[in-house]
A and B are shown apart, each in its own frame.
Chain A
Amino acid sequence: MLLPAHLFAAANLAKLTTTSEQELITVTLKEFTIPEDVRLALQEGTPVSFTWSVSIEQVNPYWINEPIGEIIVTREVIPNLISKSWMLIDSATGSITRNTSSLNTALNFLTPLNNFPLLDRALLSESEHYALNCKLLIFKGERDESWWSAYFHFAKTVAQGSFQQP
């Protein structure tokens, strides 16, 4: 019997590491490789958007983890084949866009989780364990904003991590 491929992907998950900077907890995605078909799609002019969903939960050893918070970041790259450039759009910061003629720049733009501010330390309790879970929804082509599209596009867990609040 064939099973969905993502069920086997758990062993290949990337890592999420955290750092405490002043009053913030920042998160960094490591060992994550952008799929080759994304690069190909951008090269061939297909818009690509990445929706990152990073959630943090307080670990309860004998019960369901308690959700603490979640941030969602959406990055979109729209290629322009005529001008050989890629327009970079950060949906979280509104309409700020920029053009780049470098594909690598565009690809790096899609993976923003590098010292990315996650949440205020004041929201965490001392000496508690927390689990991080990162899901990614890759959308190739024009984004389908219809209400039912959510039922056919599922984010996949790509990275996990944990930390203990000192």
Chain B
Amino acid sequence: MKLMARIPPLALTLTLWGVTGIVWGDITVPETSLIALINIGIMGILSLFFLLYSVRSLQNKPMRAGSPLRSKLVIAFMGILLLPTMIIQTSSHQVVEKGLNIWFDVRVDKVMDQALHLAQGFYSRVDHELKQGLISVTSDQVLLNRFSMMPEQFSPLHLRLSELMQQHNWQSIRIYDLNEHLVANVRMTGLAELTPPPLSEQAKLALKIGHTSTELAVIDGSEMAVGYAPLRYNQKIIGVLQAEITLPEGIVNDAKNIEDNYRSYRELERNRQAIGSLFTHIMLFITLSIVLIAGLIAIFFSRKLTAPIDQLASAVHRITEGDLNVIIPASPQDELGALVESFNQMATRLKQNMQALDIAQDHLKQSLNDSQQRQYILERLLANMQSGALLLSDQGHIRLVNQAFQQLSSNHDDWVIGNDIHNLKQHPQLNFILKFFDEMKDQQTQYLQQEVEIMMGKKSQIMLLRGTCLHDQHTPLSKLSGYLILMDNITDLAEAQRHKAWSEVAQRLAHEIKNPLTPIKLAAERLQRRFRTQVDDQKVFDHCTHAIINQTDRLQRLVGDFSSLARIPKPRMDNCTVAAIFTSMQELYETYSRVHIDFPEHELPLYCDFDQIRQIIINLMNNALAATEENLAPINLYATFNHHSINLHILDEGDGIPETLAGKIFEAYISTKADGSGLGLAIAKRIAEDHQGQLQLLSHAKPTHFCLSLPMQTQQMEIPL
């Protein structure tokens, strides 16, 4: 269908090119060159127009709205006009050809020749007679003698001329001398002119080259045959004779008319081809002009017709681009005008609706922003909370879980939003959460709180679980919408509380026990000094008093430890080095050959309470010495460091710590020694924690490996790692 639409303009273009080729040769014909050029120009413009339209339609480019319709209207209009005008063109060409054939018919040709022959015959007779007369007169010796003796023979010359004029029945005779001056003038009737007429070209020829000639002329309204002949005297031209014969009225004019008509006829006959061509070109020009004007009119009207469509398309395009401020100017009161009006109404309503939508969208955006803001705050709050938070749906699906909750539950990967909490059954260590949730659901209480002790690795942890039912406030019956479970690791808090309580008890006990111990010891020593010699059994007495004194010392030491644990002073932080600590250790344990101290290659500065750290190391070293007392296994003390801490390691190959006690080794009253108070490591751990560090048991046996980590201070960062 599209191909069919493209054929007419292409066909018109090719037709115009064909016609251009046909008329191209007429450019060289002078009679038709101008009109041929004009026609070729018009055809060029038209063919260019059609060609452009063809090319545009072949390119399949999106055309401006209304443009195809406009082009089709113009093409159709011009095409409709072309057909009849071409028929007229062809018909008129045939008519002209036929008319020319009739015009230049052989019979006409013959008549023209006969007319010319008639005129020539008449003239030939007059010419012959006049020339005979002129020859006769110019050979008249009397005349020549009298003319040669001018001006003396003026009157005789005139007399002779009058005789000759009457003899030949001429109308007048004139004689001109070599200077073209009128010498004699004789007329049959009337008076001679005061100012003689100028010498004709024929007369000049006769005077100059001695040529006798005749011509037909109209002088003073009379048609005449005029002859010119040279006057020779002694073989020399001395003047020219002009004789005139009056001809019957109309003869000369008729002869001239015949000559003019014959000439015109023959010119036309010679230009017969050019006349036909000229007529064809004129008709072609008219045809092309009509087509061109029709095309322009068609363009004008089609533009006017398609302008509303163009405006509509443009307006629709603007609306699709988002510009709703589109109002098409009023159109004529026709179907297109009604369409434009409807479109304007539609655009206005669309604009109003879009404005309402924009307002609603703004409100929604605002609400969304508020909601997002709240959600962001909530998320930040949850993320920064120390407590773990878990938000569950009423069916137990995870809605929200914060980082702290995942860390506390030590299982990061299973907390996926949307998962059912009952899927956690596969993780026994998380069953306490599931159990708490189920209990909360079963009891249907608004709030539930439980402390749960669980094992995480080898450590016992105390978790505080608090659960709250959430209700949808927007539903009339406050329907249950979910559960919020908060979880806190209160192990440290519980321990601190226990420690605090224990410290208070310990202090009071130490105070109450310590006071009587000194008098007891002093009393025992006094008894020993005063009554040792007075007793019967001195051995028993010594044994008893020594036992009292030893046990009192032990009690005093125990009370001292209790007191120390309860009242560990705040560390007095100062700069020192690992090497300084190791040096003091070396001085202290230099008698023990199995103690090996590796001094660090680099100076490792510490910011700590030197005495307290030294106390920790001594405690650990003493424990190691005690453990290796029997097998004399080596004890190693060395230091390592990383970006965050400096680590002091104590290793021994002693008996080690039973695995059952390994997890509780830092708790009070836990000791592997028979006479140990079980407070040394607890105190050491407290001191380490007071330094923001930690004391760890890295290996409970073979080797027994303790590590004291102290934080790396900012000023210590110059250590090459």
Contact = CB atoms under 8 A, between A and B. Distances in A.
Q: Which of under 10, 10 to 19, 20 to 34, or 35 or more describes the interface residues of B?
A: 20 to 34
Contact of B216 (A6, A37, A82): A82
B34 interface: yes
A140 B30 CA distance: 11
B21 A82 contact: no
Interface string A131-166: 000000000110000000000110000000000000
A58 to B, nearest CB: 32
A40 interface: yes
B263 A46 contact: yes
A4 B28 contact: yes
Contact of B259 (A41, A80, A98): A80
Nearest to A154: B30
A122 interface: no
Interface string B82-109: 0000000000000000000000000000
A34 interface: no
Nearest to A84: B120
A127 interface: no
B427 to A, nearest CB: 95
Interface in B21-76: 21, 24-25, 27-28, 30, 33-34
Given A4-B28, A99-B213, A82 B205 contact: no
B155 to A, nearest CB: 35
Nearest to B122: A82
A98 B215 CA distance: 13
Interface string A98-132: 11000000000000000000000000000000000
Given A4-B27, A82-B120, A152-B34, A98 B209 contact: yes
A151 to B, nearest CB: 9
A81 B120 contact: yes
A95 interface: yes
Contacts of B255: 82
A44 B201 contact: no
A98 B258 CA distance: 23
B343 interface: no
B214 interface: yes
A19 interface: no
B503 to A, nearest CB: 121
A5 interface: yes
Contacts of B201: 87, 95, 97
* Interface residue range, chain A: 20 to 34
Contacts of A37: 270
Contacts of B213: 85, 99
B123 interface: yes
A3 to B, nearest CB: 8
B127 interface: yes
Contact of B270 (A40, A97, A98, A153): A40
Interface in B303-337: none
B211 A6 contact: no
B262 A81 contact: yes
A45 B262 contact: yes
A81 B34 CA distance: 32
B198 to A, nearest CB: 12
B127 A83 contact: yes
B148 interface: no
Contacts of B120: 81-84
A84 B214 CA distance: 11
Interface string B187-223: 0000000000000011001000101011110000000
A54 B211 CA distance: 33
Contact of B214 (A44, A45, A83): A83
Contacts of B116: 81
Interface in B255-313: 255-256, 258-259, 262-263, 266-267, 270
A11 interface: no
Contacts of B33: 152
Nearest to A153: B30
Contacts of A99: 202, 205, 211, 213
B18 to A, nearest CB: 12
A8 to B, nearest CB: 11
B119 interface: yes
B442 to A, nearest CB: 106
A64 interface: no
A2 interface: yes
B52 to A, nearest CB: 22
B326 to A, nearest CB: 53
Nearest to A4: B28
B205 A2 contact: no
A1 interface: yes
B259 A45 contact: yes
Nearest to A7: B28
Nearest to B252: A82
B119 A2 contact: no
Nearest to B121: A82
Contacts of B25: 2
A79 B120 CA distance: 13
A19 B127 CA distance: 45
A41 B271 CA distance: 11
A163 B214 CA distance: 47
B119 A82 contact: yes
A82 B263 contact: no
Nearest to A101: B213
A2 B262 contact: no
B28 A6 contact: yes
A83 B28 contact: no
Contact of B263 (A3, A40, A45): A45
Given A82-B259, A97-B201, A46 B266 contact: yes
A44 B263 contact: yes
A136 to B, nearest CB: 14
Given A2-B21, A152-B30, A153-B30, A81 B263 contact: yes
Contacts of A84: 120
B109 to A, nearest CB: 11
Contacts of A46: 263, 266-267, 270
A9 to B, nearest CB: 11
A166 to B, nearest CB: 39
Contacts of B119: 81-82
A89 to B, nearest CB: 9
B21 to A, nearest CB: 6
Interface string A24-54: 0000000000000100110011100000000
Given A44-B266, A82-B123, A98 B211 contact: yes
A152 B27 CA distance: 11
Shortest beta-carbon contacts, A-B, top 3: A44-B266, A45-B263, A2-B25
Given A80-B215, A97-B201, 12 more contacts: A4-B27, A41-B270, A45-B263, A46-B267, A79-B263, A81-B263, A82-B120, A82-B255, A82-B256, A87-B201, A99-B211, A99-B213
Interface of A: 1-6, 37, 40-41, 44-46, 79-85, 87, 95, 97-99, 140-141, 152-153
30 contacts: A1-B24, A2-B24, A5-B28, A6-B28, A40-B270, A41-B270, A44-B263, A45-B262, A45-B263, A45-B266, A46-B266, A46-B267, A46-B270, A80-B215, A80-B259, A81-B262, A81-B263, A82-B120, A82-B216, A82-B255, A82-B258, A82-B259, A83-B127, A83-B215, A83-B216, A87-B201, A95-B201, A98-B205, A99-B205, A99-B211
